[in-house]
Every structure is written in C-alpha cells, then in structure tokens.
Structure 1
Amino acid sequence: MPMRLLTAITPHGYGHAAQALVVLEALCARRPDLELHIATTVPEAFLRSRLDHPFHYHMRATDFGLKMSSALEIDLPASAEAYAAQARMWDSLLEAETAFLDALRPDLLLADVPYLPLAAAQRTGVPAVALCSLNWADIHSHYFHDRPEAGQVRERLLAAYNSARVFLAPEPHMPMPDLVNLRTIGPLARTGANRRATIDARLGLAPDDRLVLIALGGVQGRLPMERWPRTPGLHWLVREDWRVERPDCHAIESLQMPFTDILTSCDALLGKIGYGSVTECAVNTTPMLYIPRADWPEEPYLAGWLERHGIIARVEQQQVETGDLAARVEQMLRCPRPSAPLADGAEEAAGFLLR
C-alpha cells in the first residue's frame, strides 16, 4: 500500500516551503510510490519547480507566520490582531482542519510549521512530525508577550507542537527549550551546479564581470534600484516583476534555470537573513550580503552559523537605499571561500518520516 503523506506549509515567504521540499525530495527518492498532498498558499508553480514527484495541491493555509508591510518590515499591529482573531476563532478553525484531515485520511502529517494541522492530527490520531528552524509560539511571544491573549496563544501553539511525534529542527535553528520533542538534524539545503559560463553568454557579460543575485525570500516588495549608481563591471539579477529598466540589471526568469544553479553561479547573494538563503549560500560557497531585519529573533543564530561556515557581510539599510554596495561586494569577494558544510538533514528527516 502506498503511504499517503500530507505536508502542511506556512506561507510566510518561500522559506518554509524550501525547507520542506528538500526533505520531500529525499523521502520521495526512497519511496517513489508515495502519495503526496501539499496544503499551503505558497504558489503551486514554485513547489513544482523544486519537486519532480507528483503531488496533489490543496490551496489552503491555517497560519500566516507574520503579516509583512514590506519585504523586510513586519506589520506588528496587523500580526498581533491576526493572532488575536485566530485565538477567538480557535475552536471553529480546529473543527475545520479536523474535517479536512478526516476527509483526506493521511497516514502521516508533516508540518513546517503550522500548528492547527498538528492539533487536528492529535484529535484524529494521525501521526505527525513537525519540521522547522523556528516555531510560531516563540515568535509570537517575542513580539506580543504583553498582549492580553499572549498566554493563551502560547499555550495552544506549544501544545500543538509538543503533540508531534518529533519536532525536527535543522541546523542552524533557534533554541526552543519549551519543546519536549525537539531533535536537531543537519542542515537542509540544495546543492546547485555552477553554470556561470552559460549565464555570461546569455547575458553578454565579460569573464571578469561581477554578478550579484538579489533575493528577498518570496516576500512581496522590492529595492529602490532606480536610485542606485551604475558601477562598471557590476551586474544584478532581480525578479522580472520588479520591472527594473537598467542595462546592468537582468531578470532572473530570463535564465530559465533552477534557482539554486543561479545562486551557485553568482559571485554573491544580496538579501535578508532567512534559513534557505543562509544554508544554500554555505553549501554552495556563495558569499552573502545581508540586509538586517529589525528585531528578527532568528537572525543572530542564522548569521552566526554562516559566519562559521561561509562568507557573510552586513549592509545597512541606508546603503541599500542609495546603492552604495560596490565596495562591500569587492571587499567580501576578496575573502577566501571556506569548504562547504555537509547538508545531511534531508536524509535524517526522511529516515524519521519512514520510521
């Protein structure tokens, strides 16, 4: 009998999906008969671009992570109110998620890392595994501990997370001392192929030109590149929908390559600190320029890990506003590239899921 797996993914950017998909890829290689269902509002096209195994897409999400006012700024009032509204509707939301699981009847649930599916799985007796480098109970407490509903929210979320058979935390991860089922596994990351010669030919770049990929982790928003000065020999790869009309800017989509191949082929990545960006830069030895996220509690752990396993440099918001980045890029690229860490977390996680 094929195993039916439901994977529920937080749609806060693409980072949670990227983590889960690396694990699903390893799992499907071991179990090609797997009947896979994915529930999220992360675009289906993104999921299919990173996973060859067939799956059923359920466009639904029970959580949101945090509401964002830009690619780097959290809308704290909107986030607080959304959690408060969810707390008021908890019973009905849990009933709806329980009905969804009852109808689908999965053999196993994997959650990265929405809590309502885990609570529903406990109700229905479906074995469940949580997977993430953070949890939303700790994130909520960090920002909203003084809200009147904070205690109730934390209690419910932690109960859901602790109901899982195991909470797999890939390195690097936040400390999560209130999880009784925490198990650290190796990093989750894809290894890309260096296709720089093909990219240079396609974009008309010279062999000594610098090419920097700009990626903000799937969160809506853009950088004010129209204000940036042009630097001879420095080119940028940006999303096509940014509509940047400059000869030194090129659309990522025009390359028609897997994202990790593009990351591996570039001289550096410019973006915010996020799990996927950090681990894939380390594994593919791509230097990272990062834009700090104000008071993001995961950032010290991710940035500290990349300092030990890769090349990382901070750029200030003012530099991003004015485009004063060329000297920082060159300084970073003079650093010797360290050896890549082993990304063995996917195989560890796949083993847990099969057991």
Structure 2
Amino acid sequence: MSTTRLMPSAAARAVLALSAALALAGAPAQAQDKPVQLKMSSWVPAQHPLNPSLQAWADDIKKASNGTITAVLFPSEQLGKAFDHYDMARDGIADFAYINPGYQPGRFPIMAGASLPFLFANGKGGTAAIDAWYRQYAATEMKDVKVCFAFVHDPGTFHARKKILAPTDIKGMKIRPATSTIGQMVTSLGGTNVQASAPESRDMLERGVADAITFPWGSIGLFGIDKVVSYHMDAPLYVTPFVWAMNKGKYDSMSAAQKKVIDDHCTSEWAEKVATPWADFEYGGRAKIAAQSGHEIYKLTPEQLDAWRKSVAPVEAQWAESVKKVGQDPKAVMDSLKANLAKTSSAL
C-alpha cells in the first residue's frame, strides 16, 4: 500500500518562513530562553529613593521577559565603592551599575559639561534632556560598557558651616565638590577640594576636614549632613549627571528577545521614570531643612548671582579644552545640551 506525502503549498511555506523570521527578529522573550540573573549595584543607602525606582525598573524587565530575566539589587556599596562603579560594570563585578562620572576627574570630559554650573532648572525635564543629549556620545566616551540611560537629580547647592554669598568667600575654604567640574570651580576661586563620596561626606564635615559641600536638598537629611552644616545657599547651582550602565558581556550573552527587552528599558522615557521619584525627594528637601531650627536658607541678590555666573567662566574654558582633546567641538556639544534643556523646559 503506497502513501502520498503531502507537501505544503508555496503560500503556506511563505507564511511559515515569515513567522519564523518575526519570532527571531523581535518577539517577546520566551519561556525557553535561558534564565538570566542580573547583579545591580547602587552605592546609595537602601532607603534612598533611587533604589525602589531601580527595583521597579527591574521588575518590569522580569515581566516583559516572561520571568527569564531577574535581578538582585545591592545598595550601600555592597559590591564596591562608589568611585569604582564604572569599572565594576566594565569588569562584570556588577551587571548593572549606578555611575557618577564626576567621581573620576578627566575620564569623561563630554559628560562633565552637564555638571557646569547654572544650566539645569529641574531634575525631571533635565533627565529627559541629558539622556537624549548623551546618546550621541555614550558609545564613544563610555565604550567599555553599554550605557542604558543617563539622568540627573534636582539641582543642588552649597551647604556649609558658614554663609557663602560671593565667589570670593570660597577662598581658603575646604569644600567637598559633587563633581570634578564643581571641583575645578572651587580651585579656580581659591578653595581646596576634599574628595569624598556621598556616603563618606558627613564624616569629613564632622571632623572639620571639609567646611562645606555641594549637595542636593533632600539628600542632606538622608546622609545626616544636616547635623553638621547650618547655612544653605538657595540657588540652583548645579546637577550631578549619572549613568545606569550594563556589562557588555552580560548583554551579549542574552538571546535576541532578551536583548530587545533590555533595549526597551534603556530609553529616555525609562530614564525619566526612574529619576522622577528622586527628583521629587530632592525638591522636597528644601522645605524639610527650612522647618528645622538652627538652619538658615538664604537667597542671593541679582548682583551676587551675576557674580557667580561670571566666576564660572574659567571652568567653562577648562571644560572646552578637555573636550577638544578628545576630538569634539565644545560649542557643538554645549549647544546640543542647551537645545535639549530648552526642549524639556529645564533650562535656567
């Protein structure tokens, strides 16, 4: 007895081929994908508002990958010091790391432009702006890692043991700067920089190793710095740019579908989602400081503010030279940042 083998029609074969191609090209992560667990490192303390945002981001990745990508968050420098987080992401000590590029002066000159004084009016729109802007440069300047997104906190200012009104008041002071760019400003005004990560800063101030610090408002209370400083300049002096970055090898080891899930969570929209609760927290910190006894929050006169703006010109010139050394046009870089800030209503 003979049997006849039924062959699929040309149309059926085409449909099957198209289905297979679509599955490979970008279908959601499938249950058969190899399970991946991510080690995420955050150097801020567990109660910091950034950590729940990073956890919510990771939870959404788990959902989008059908449970094949899970993550464990390690806060409080458990995996390494704050200064080391870029190298930790590069070397795979962490699969994702929260990086302050300003902790390594001179290493990331383009990103340093975002910490020049008097640029950012707020943290929310500022985050959307810096992320859109830095995507042009991330693959070159931070080529050792996969930059997921960039973000900023709400603007910070000087918090000190004495009142700082004019740029000339900095002369002779010992100041812990938030970034290398602010450190250059301190030096140009005759002050001395005291290097310390955020978790180490209260101790430096308490022991008199530093007289002042540049810090955002809400974190002053979170890190206990409100116990050792009394005077607070009410001006949006600076923001600190941050990067959430991934180990390249970990990314490369994932399936195509899993990579797509990661890429879908490394966007300007996600940068803003992650940064907004922190921006709200920092913004609300000013009122908390104002409600405490023993603290003075003071505004600058228009003349004083103008003097501060003029005082940062040497720092801007230094920054421009550092950008030229890596083959970029500083005017084009800064014009692009300012255009993005204007677009998101976050320019000063």
TM-score, length-normalised on structure 1?
0.31
**Structure with the larger helix share:** 2
Q: Which has the larger radius of gyration?
A: 2
Greater relative contact order (Cα < 8 A, sep 6+): 2
